[in-house]
Amino acid sequence: MIAVLDQILQVGFLAAIVRIATPLIFATLGEMFSERSGVLNLGIEGIMLISAMTGFSAAYYSGSLWVGIAAAAATGALLGFLHAVLTVALGLSQHVAGIGLTLFSTGLAFFLFRLIFGQQATPPSITGFATVPIPLLSQIPVLGPVIFNQFTLVYIAILAVPLAAFVLYRTPWGLALRMAGENPRAADSAGVSVIRIRFQAVVLGGALMGIAGAFLSMAQFNAFTFGVISGRGWVAIALVVFGRWDPWRCAGAALLFAAIDALQLRLQASGLGHIPYQAFLVLPFVLTIVAMALISRNAVAPAALLKPFRREER
């Protein structure tokens, strides 16, 4: 027990929580925007995976990490556009389209990675993002190393939460987005193009998912592997429900999952050798399921979620 406490009561543990939460924040905000417009995107796992691959490949050959981030965001936006064509324009089942998109993206990512890099004995790697301490603020005890001595993408994720809340609740576009997800008929009567708003939300969500995938391959692991996402896309979908489709709550849910994930890593390092490591690996997902079971009963999803909109149907 003392060994466990020694692992937890460290500034590095809190800093790890913030880093682990970063891709979840990007992915969860992306899924939240999509769902608030009325479109469930089950393609998130595949979008994150192929974006991690394209971002890593672009950074590897260009030598620029930001080119990689741009490539990943563009990949995510493109696949988000494809999902919007299937679900918004054609009105196909959002469940089927999303799962199909994940399967397609996963297979395409594996194929392209083998095509680009071949079968190498040593997997390719890059020099990923380095921490960027903010002058003065990084010297604040505890809070400084935890918040203000992180990767640039971590700072962007932190700023993305209040920005998402502002856009969603304080702008005409955010109002139109919420109307499209709650009552698209009323939105259409008010002159809002529901189709356009949903397209924009799904494409924006896809871009954020792409950045989430790129963070894993370009900042957290500095390499692309076939297990780099490891179910984080599915977790993000659960976190949206856990956060009740609100940016602040979704970010809090991401931090909670990250804390459990960081804890299981510390528990593995604490020397509890009599417990199989698989038990620690599954801990965050089990607790997420439990939390979902308790919270989802009272969660109220957008009223028009999963419902296609066609102006000619009344």
Place of tokens 């919007």: 84
Is there a contact between 28 and 22 (Cβ–Cβ < 8 Å)? no
Question: For 237-275, what is each residue's pLDDT tens digit?
Answer: 999 998 999 999 999 999 988 988 888 777 766 665 566
Percent of the chain residues topping a pLDDT of 70: 91
Q: So what's the pLDDT on residue 1?
A: 52
The pLDDT of residue 311 is above 80: no
In this predicted model, what pLDDT tens digit does every residue of 180-211 receive, in sequence order?
999 999 999 999 999 999 999 999 999 999 99
- For 125, the 3-state DSSP assignment is strand
Q: By CB neighbour count within 10 A (0-12 exposed, 13-18 middle, 19+ buried), where does 105 fall?
A: buried
Q: How does DSSP classify residue 223?
A: B
So what's the pLDDT on residue 267? 72
| Average pLDDT of the residues in 28-47 | 97
**Prediction pTM value:** 0.93
Distance CA 31, CA 41 (A): 7
Residue 152 to residues 38, 58, 131, 305, Cα–Cα distance (Å): 32, 18, 7, 34
Domains of the chain: 2-128+142-295 (1.10.3470.10)
CA distance 32 to 236: 9
Using DSSP, state whether 150 is helix, strand or coil.
strand
DSSP SS3 for 267: helix
Q: Which two tokens stand for residue 89?
A: 């324009």
